[in-house]
Structure 1
Amino acid sequence: MQTLNTLRSDARAIFDAALRAADPRLAVERVLARRGNHLLLNEIPIFDFTRGKLTVIGAGKAGAPMAQAVEAIVKPDDYLGAVNVKYGHLARHHAGVISNSARDGVRAPTKFILLYEAGHPLPDENTLRFTHSLLSLLEEQTENDLVLCLFSGGGSALMEYLVNGITLADLRVFTNELLRCGATIYEINTLRKHISQVKGGQIARLAQPARVVSLVLSDVLGSPLDVIASGPTAPDSSTFADCIAIVEKYHLRETFPPSIVAHYERGARGEIVETPKADDPLFARVTNVIIADNKIACDAAEREAQQRGYAVQVVSTTLQGEARELGHDIAARIKHAPTRTCVLGGGEPTVTIRGSGKGGRAQELTLAAAIEIEGDAELVVMSAGTDGTDGPTDAAGALADNTTVVRARALGMDAHTFLENNDAYHFFAALNDLIITGPTNTNVNDLMIALR
């Protein structure tokens, strides 16, 4: 007999199946191999170890397991590497390893590739320091060399080398305002690319004349290469003029540091060189490959739900928009669905912050859904980030059922008040309904699961 506890445990099991499918190590192993002295990408030789030098660089929350996979494939050889990861996101496969990377970089849990820990979502001093160290590996490249890049979600914050005249303090204010204004990731990364010397194809420029191959684990809807991690090795389709338009759209002129607004204005007047575009000859020796994305995770979630006896309705793997509105929509779908139905969705909601509370997009979506399903039949709605981090919290997301709002009311909490204050974290914490995974070492957007 189906019970509310069964629905709740099934929702978590479905989410866990999605995480396993998005494992970065497996994703790298699917596309990269070594045979003899040659490195192969999708069975095509891309590098000869006897003729050139291999350099591995990267940034993102999935950087550690991606680096581990590369080391297992390449095996001992003469190469250098460095990857920037978020604090606490060293691969969990090597329990007991103590990181000192905040000071010097750490070779564990990897042997040859240094793992540097830095700030996310707010860049910090380590972000700038370790990006400088990473870029030093790109010096003195030749045409016979290969720069293998490992990029995943979070790379935009974790790898930065600012243009002259903009400081770390400016960058942190800028990032805070971006995360609050409700802009899409496309818009956010357009702005990021145009104050950076590494984003928007500029790593490809710095790596010349070496061949560049980037393995990309996508956390952006539709997997546009110039947006994921702000496209360090992809042609940039955005311009300084786009930056000015975004600043005006979200009324950021007064809240952004003056140095950043002035930089955009000089660029729009043609006084600053644009990021490299698709017709730039440097991209003739650049290959970018998407190795995992939200669809792979959603497909695995669908299979798990079917194995548990649910009829599955996949809404979309590219959901976007205000989190609370998506929460209402998913809740309405499951309310009107037959028993033993699973409604699945993937994507990247946004939150326009108007209150002073604590939370994230997945938690806010779940709180809005909880209000919608109050007092209904036995229903469960869960939303969580596949990276294990939802906004500036230690939670991946939250889970709600048809009793959530009533249970909260018994504790003196009004769900509507918490929603309006953007305080979903404290709401679900009081109910013990936060989803806490810890760092998952992957990042392919969010998953939304509704069951009845």
Structure 2
Amino acid sequence: MYPAANGRIVVARLLDRPHPRFYCAGSVQGNATVSGKQTDLLRQIFTAAITAVDPLRVLKDHLPEPPKGRTIVLGAGKAAAAMAKAVEENWRGRIDDGLVVTRYGHGLPCRHIEVVEAAHPVPDAKGQEAAQRILAKVQGLTADDLVLCLISGGGSAIMTIPGAGLTLADKQAVNKALLKSGANIAEMNCVRKHLSAIKGGRLAAAAFPARVVSLLISDVPGDDPSVIASGPTVADPTTREDALAVLKKYRIEAPAAVLDRLNDPACETPKPGDPRLALSETRMLGTPQKALEAAAAAANAAGYTPLILGDLEGEARDVALVHAGIARQVARHGQPGAAPLALISGGETTVTVRGQGRGGRNAEFLLALAVALDGHPGIHAAAGDTDGIDGTEDNAGALLTPDSIARAAIKGLSAKAMLANNDGYGFFAGLGDLIVTGPTRTNINDIRIILIDKAGS
């Protein structure tokens, strides 16, 4: 067990763990025996979800046969380093060249594949330089060569090359505005693809006539390959008009160069049927559904009937209201199932930032849930990002117990006021109930777990 420190529940830092194990300890008060039991179980369920999509466990069964020619391993995303390490451990041929780019702190040492770290969620010069090198490595390939692409969530920001007429500052400005706007991941990536020289199928087009096999870990609802990391190796069904519509919908004041780019037909991405993408194949390694099913199995083994709500989108606080309503119905009326029951959901919510607090969508969700439940007995919850980073903060998520609001009041913390200020991080840090894992090196977005116990249990 690790003691709570600096407002955190330490769930074992994962910087050098090939297969993460999670530990949980904190300052839970009130009925400590009950809350401790439930928080331990929440930790176990969260662990099961992440383990189910650990690249070091699942990648080996999806590798293609080595080619006659060269093998080039490229990749981008929060899971890219772990995927690269898994390739090295299981590849049956020679690796001629390799470069993957991941988020700062998410790297792993590899023997043959270079690992570069860059910024997320707002791109930086390191990510741009790595992306330019990746694009250069697919030039001049032949039909006998293989490009093995390792793609996971986060790749949109981490691997960036501004399109013609754009600067890195232009892309940074648009990224920051999109992150604050409340746009969902598909909308954000629609814009990103049309401002990029490598995403939206352009990487695979540049590699033609080589065979391109992409191994993907999905972090998007529906597991659409064209949305995951903005689909650098697959055709893009969206258009520049769609991208302009996103900017208009969220009233984003983009730099003039961005608008000029989107109004130029030359910015259009490769579309379905493009012959340069005919040799591009995708294989899905891990999905949110796979993680949800693993979480449900862990809950069931502990005696809780699991109810998977699926991958959900929408404002974090609105999604919290829906979860609270279902949890209350279970507790009061045994519908749609009787307690003990575990509500489990995934997907990526959004937060429209209006306040000045420190947030993260999982902390925002849990704080809104706390307000909605108002200390309802017998309901415990956890929410966390499976990559170990809740938005831009240093925590994966947080824990909620029935006495969270009461404990906060004693400390002078107002749940409603802090929610209005988008300060979920500050609220749970004040209670010592942040979950800190460090990088997990996988990413299938968020896992939310609500345990509802029978009255008196």
Q: Does 1:352 align with 2:352?
A: yes
Q: Hey, what does 1:294 align to over in structure 2?
A: 288
Q: Does 1:148 align with 2:148?
A: yes
Q: Hey, what does 1:36 align to over in structure 2?
A: none
Provide the secondary structure at the position in 2 that maps to 1:3: helix
Provide the secondary structure at the position in 2 that maps to 1:198: coil
With normalisation by structure 1, the TM-score equals 0.89
Q: Following TM superposition, by how much is the alpha carbon of 1:76 offset from its aligned partner in structure 2, in angstroms?
A: 6.6
Q: Does 1:23 align with 2:92?
A: no
Q: Hey, what does 2:263 align to over in structure 1?
A: 265
CA distance in 2, matches of 1:416, 1:78: 55
Q: Following TM superposition, by how much is the alpha carbon of 1:331 offset from its aligned partner in structure 2, in angstroms?
A: 2.0
CA contact (8 A) 1:331 1:381 kept: no
Give identity over the alignment, percent. Answer: 41
Q: Hey, what does 1:201 align to over in structure 2?
A: 201
Q: Which amino acid aligns with 2:37?
A: T
CA contact (8 A) 2:97 2:112 kept: yes
CA distance in 2, matches of 1:70, 1:200: 24
Give the one of 316, 319, 327 matched to 1:326. Answer: 319
Q: Following TM superposition, by how much is the alpha carbon of 1:13 offset from its aligned partner in structure 2, in angstroms?
A: 1.0
Q: Following TM superposition, by how much is the alpha carbon of 1:243 offset from its aligned partner in structure 2, in angstroms?
A: 1.3
Provide the secondary structure at the position in 1 that maps to 2:134: helix
CA distance in 1, matches of 2:305, 2:163: 52
Q: Hey, what does 1:379 align to over in structure 2?
A: 379
CA distance in 1, matches of 2:137, 2:277: 20
Q: Which amino acid aligns with 1:302?
A: A
Query: Cα gap change, 1:78/1:84 in structure 2, threshold over 3 Å: closer, same or farther?
Result: closer
Provide the secondary structure at the position in 2 that maps to 1:151: strand
Q: Following TM superposition, by how much is the alpha carbon of 1:365 offset from its aligned partner in structure 2, in angstroms?
A: 0.4
Mapping 1:31-46, distance limit 5 Å = 31-32=62-63, 39-40=64-65
CA distance in 1, matches of 2:214, 2:250: 33
CA contact (8 A) 2:388 2:436 kept: yes
Q: Following TM superposition, by how much is the alpha carbon of 1:212 offset from its aligned partner in structure 2, in angstroms?
A: 0.5
Residues 380-408 of structure 1: per-residue CA shift (max 9 Å, x gap): 11111111111110011111111111111
CA distance in 2, matches of 1:225, 1:381: 31
Q: Hey, what does 1:219 align to over in structure 2?
A: 219
CA distance in 1, matches of 2:254, 2:368: 31
CA distance in 2, matches of 1:242, 1:283: 22
Mapping 1:89-128, distance limit 5 Å = 89-91=106-108, 109-128=109-128
Q: Give the RMSD, CA atoms, in angstroms.
A: 1.4
Q: How many residues align?
A: 414
Q: Hey, what does 2:17 align to over in structure 1?
A: none
Residues 240-298 of structure 1: per-residue CA shift (max 9 Å, x gap): 1111111111111xx3211111211223xxxx152111111112111011111111111
Q: Hey, what does 2:278 align to over in structure 1?
A: 284
Query: Cα gap change, 1:16/1:388 in structure 2, threshold over 3 Å: closer, same or farther?
Result: same
Q: Hey, what does 1:310 align to over in structure 2?
A: 304
Q: Hey, what does 1:85 align to over in structure 2?
A: 102
CA distance in 1, matches of 2:224, 2:97: 28
Q: Does 1:58 align with 2:56?
A: no
Structure 2 residues without counterparts, runs of 5 or longer: 1-30, 331-337, 453-457
CA distance in 1, matches of 2:255, 2:268: 21
CA contact (8 A) 1:370 1:381 kept: no
Q: Which amino acid aligns with 1:296?
A: K
CA distance in 1, matches of 2:228, 2:426: 31
Q: Hey, what does 1:368 align to over in structure 2?
A: 368
CA distance in 2, matches of 1:230, 1:124: 17
CA distance in 2, matches of 1:65, 1:214: 15
Q: Which amino acid aligns with 2:41?
A: D
Q: Which amino acid aligns with 1:346?
A: G
Query: Cα gap change, 1:78/1:433 in structure 2, threshold over 3 Å: closer, same or farther?
Result: closer
CA contact (8 A) 1:87 1:117 kept: yes
Residues 377-434 of structure 1: per-residue CA shift (max 9 Å, x gap): 1211111111111111001111111111111111111101110111111111010111
CA contact (8 A) 1:7 1:379 kept: no
CA distance in 2, matches of 1:412, 1:406: 10
CA contact (8 A) 2:315 2:352 kept: yes
Q: Which amino acid aligns with 2:143?
A: E
Q: Hey, what does 1:103 align to over in structure 2?
A: none
CA contact (8 A) 2:103 2:118 kept: yes
Q: Following TM superposition, by how much is the alpha carbon of 1:75 offset from its aligned partner in structure 2, in angstroms?
A: 5.1
CA distance in 2, matches of 1:72, 1:392: 31
Provide the secondary structure at the position in 2 that maps to 1:147: strand
Query: Cα gap change, 1:273/1:178 in structure 2, threshold over 3 Å: closer, same or farther?
Result: closer
Q: Which amino acid aligns with 1:194?
A: H
Structure 1 residues without counterparts, runs of 5 or longer: 33-38, 41-46, 92-108
Determine which structure has greater relative contact order: mean sequence separation of CA pairs < 8 Å that are 6+ residues apart, divided by chain length: 2
CA distance in 2, matches of 1:113, 1:56: 7
Q: Which amino acid aligns with 1:14?
A: I
Q: Does 1:70 align with 2:95?
A: no
After alignment, is 235-244 or 256-265 more displaced? 256-265
CA contact (8 A) 1:4 1:379 kept: no
Q: Which amino acid aligns with 2:261?
A: H
CA distance in 2, matches of 1:65, 1:264: 35
Give the one of 7, 29, 43 matched to 1:12. Answer: 43
Residues 299-348 of structure 1: per-residue CA shift (max 9 Å, x gap): 111111111111111112x2111101111221222223243211111111
Q: Which amino acid aligns with 1:157?
A: A
Provide the secondary structure at the position in 2 that maps to 1:306: helix
